[in-house]
C-alpha cells in the first residue's frame, strides 16, 4: 500500500493521477478522523530560505500530529546561510533526519538535495512550483463538489509557481483549468505542455488574456499576489497591468452560481482580490488554509510509510 514510501515530491508531475488522488483521499480520511497514522521518532527538517507562515506552521503541526519531531533549519542559523553547498548539506541531513521539506528560490536546489539524499525531499515552494499548496486546494475542491471531472478551475493573475502547480494538479485530477494573465506574464510553456500531455484531452488546459472569458461558468476562482517574493521592486508597476484580473463581485457574477473562491495567501486585499469577496459567502480560503495541514500530514505519512 505504501506506494510513496521513500519518494520525493519535487513537482506534482512526479505523481501519477492515481498517486495524487490517493494523497487527497488520505488527507480527507485524516481530517475526518477515519485514520490516525503515526510516525513516532521520525524527524522532519525544514530548510526554509523564504519567509513562511502557513507552510512552516502547517508542516510543523502535521508532523507533531503524526507523533514525530521537527527541526527548523533556519538558513540564518546554519551553515546553509554561509554558503555551504546544497549537496554537502543534503548528505549531512540525510544522516540525521527522516524527511526534509525545502522552501527556496531555485528548483535546481531541491533537485540537487534529492540527488544527494536517500531520504524523501519535499518541495515546500520554489519559484517554479508549489505542489503542497495544490494538494490542499484540490482537497478543498473535493470537499465542495465531491469530485473534479466536469468542473473548471480558473486562476487569475501572474503565471507563477502556484499557477504552474495548479495547471499540473488539475490535469492530473481531470479538472478543467483556465489561466488568465496579462500579456508577458503567462505560465511557463513547458509546464503547460506537460499538463496538456498529462490530461490527454480528458480535460482542458487553457491559457488566455481574457479574464471574463476565463471566469465564465467556472466553479473555482483562484488568485495569488501579483508580485511574488523576490519581485517586490516590480510590485507598484504591476498593479495597473493586473487590475483587470482582480477577483471582485463583477467577475464572480460571471462564474457558476455555486462557484467558490480560493487564495493561497498572504493576500493584498484590494489588489488581486476585494475584501468583500475574500470575506463573502463564496470564499473557502480559510478551509483551504486548514487543508494545508491535513494534506501535508497525508504526504508525510505516505513518504514515511505510515499508511
* Residues forming the active site: 103, 130, 133, 224, 264, 292
Residue 170 assigned ligand-binding role:
no
Q: Where are the alpha helices (DSSP H) in 36-186?
A: 54-65, 86-96, 107-115, 131-145, 161-173
User: What's the angle, vertex CA 106, arms to CA 61 and CA 186, rounded to 5?
Assistant: 100
Residue 228 assigned ligand-binding role:
yes
Phi, psi values for residue 260, rounded to 5° = -115, 160
Cβ–Cβ under 8 Å, residues 205 and 196: yes
Peptide bond into 266 cis (omega under 30): yes
Q: Which three cell numbers stand for residue 207?
A: 491559457
Residue 74 assigned ligand-binding role:
no
Pick from 264, 43, 266: which is nearest to 132 by CA? 264
Residue 132 assigned ligand-binding role:
yes
Other Cβ atoms closer than 10 A to 127? 17
Q: What residues does 273 pair with on adjacent strands?
A: 247, 269
Residue 52 assigned ligand-binding role:
yes
Residue 161 assigned ligand-binding role:
yes
Residue 117 assigned ligand-binding role:
no
Residue 238 assigned ligand-binding role:
no
Q: Measured on CA atoms in the order 167, 55, 228, 154, is the torsion positive or negative?
A: positive
Residue 165 assigned ligand-binding role:
no
Residue 281 assigned ligand-binding role:
no
Residue 176 assigned ligand-binding role:
no
269: which DSSP letter?
B
Residue 130 assigned ligand-binding role:
yes
> What gap in Å lies between CA 105 and CA 228, rounded to an integer?
11
Residue 23 assigned ligand-binding role:
no
Exposure string over 219-239, b if 16+ CB within 10 A, otherwise e? bbbbbbbbbbeeeeeeeeebe
Cβ–Cβ under 8 Å, residues 128 and 107: yes
Residue 56 assigned ligand-binding role:
no
Residues annotated in the binding site for carbamoyl phosphate, as ranges?
52-55, 79, 103, 130-133, 264-265, 292
Residues annotated in the binding site, as ranges?
52-55, 79, 103, 130-133, 161, 224, 228-229, 264-265, 292
Residues annotated in the binding site for L-ornithine, as ranges?
161, 224, 228-229
Amino acid at each position: 500500500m505504501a506506494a510513496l514510501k521513500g519518494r520525493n515530491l519535487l513537482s506534482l508531475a512526479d505523481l501519477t493521477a492515481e498517486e495524487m488522488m490517493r494523497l487527497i483521499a488520505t488527507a480527507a480520511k485524516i481530517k475526518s478522523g477515519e485514520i490516525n497514522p503515526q510516525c513516532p521518532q521520525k524527524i522532519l527538517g525544514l530548510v526554509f530560505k523564504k519567509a513562511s507562515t502557513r507552510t512552516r506552521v502547517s508542516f510543523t503541526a502535521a508532523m507533531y500530529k503524526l507523533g514525530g519531531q521537527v527541526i527548523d533549519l533556519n538558513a540564518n542559523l546554519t551553515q546553509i546561510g554561509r554558503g555551504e553547498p546544497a549537496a554537502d548539506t543534503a548528505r549531512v541531513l540525510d544522516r540525521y533526519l527522516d524527511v526534509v521539506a525545502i522552501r527556496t528560490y531555485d528548483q535546481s536546489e531541491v533537485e540537487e538535495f534529492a540527488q544527494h539524499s536517500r531520504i524523501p525531499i519535499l518541495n515546500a515552494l520554489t519559484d517554479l512550483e508549489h505542489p503542497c499548496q495544490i494538494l490542499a486546494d484540490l482537497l478543498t475542491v473535493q470537499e465542495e463538489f465531491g469530485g473534479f471531472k466536469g468542473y473548471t478551475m480558473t486562476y487569475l493573475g501572474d503565471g507563477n509557481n502556484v499557477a504552474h502547480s495548479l495547471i499540473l494538479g488539475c490535469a492530473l485530477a481531470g479538472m478543467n483549468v483556465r489561466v488568465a494573465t496579462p500579456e508577458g506574464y503567462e505560465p511557463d510553456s513547458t509546464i503547460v505542455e506537460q499538463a496538456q500531455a498529462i490530461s490527454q484531452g480528458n480535460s482542458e488546459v487553457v491559457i488566455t488574456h481574457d479574464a471574463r472569458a476565463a471566469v465564465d461558468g467556472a466553479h473555482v476562482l483562484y488568485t495569488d499576489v501579483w508580485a511574488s517574493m523576490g519581485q517586490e521592486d516590480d510590485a507598484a508597476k504591476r498593479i495597473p497591468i493586473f487590475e483587470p484580473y482582480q477577483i471582485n463581485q463583477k467577475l464572480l457574477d460571471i462564474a457558476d452560481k455555486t462557484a467558490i473562491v480560493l487564495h493561497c495567501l498572504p493576500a493584498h486585499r484590494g489588489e488581486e482580490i476585494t475584501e468583500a469577496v475574500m470575506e463573502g459567502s463564496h470564499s473557502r480560503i480559510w478551509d483551504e488554509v486548514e487543508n494545508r495541514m491535513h494534506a501535508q500530514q497525508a504526504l508525510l505519512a505516505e513518504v514515511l510509510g505510515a499508511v
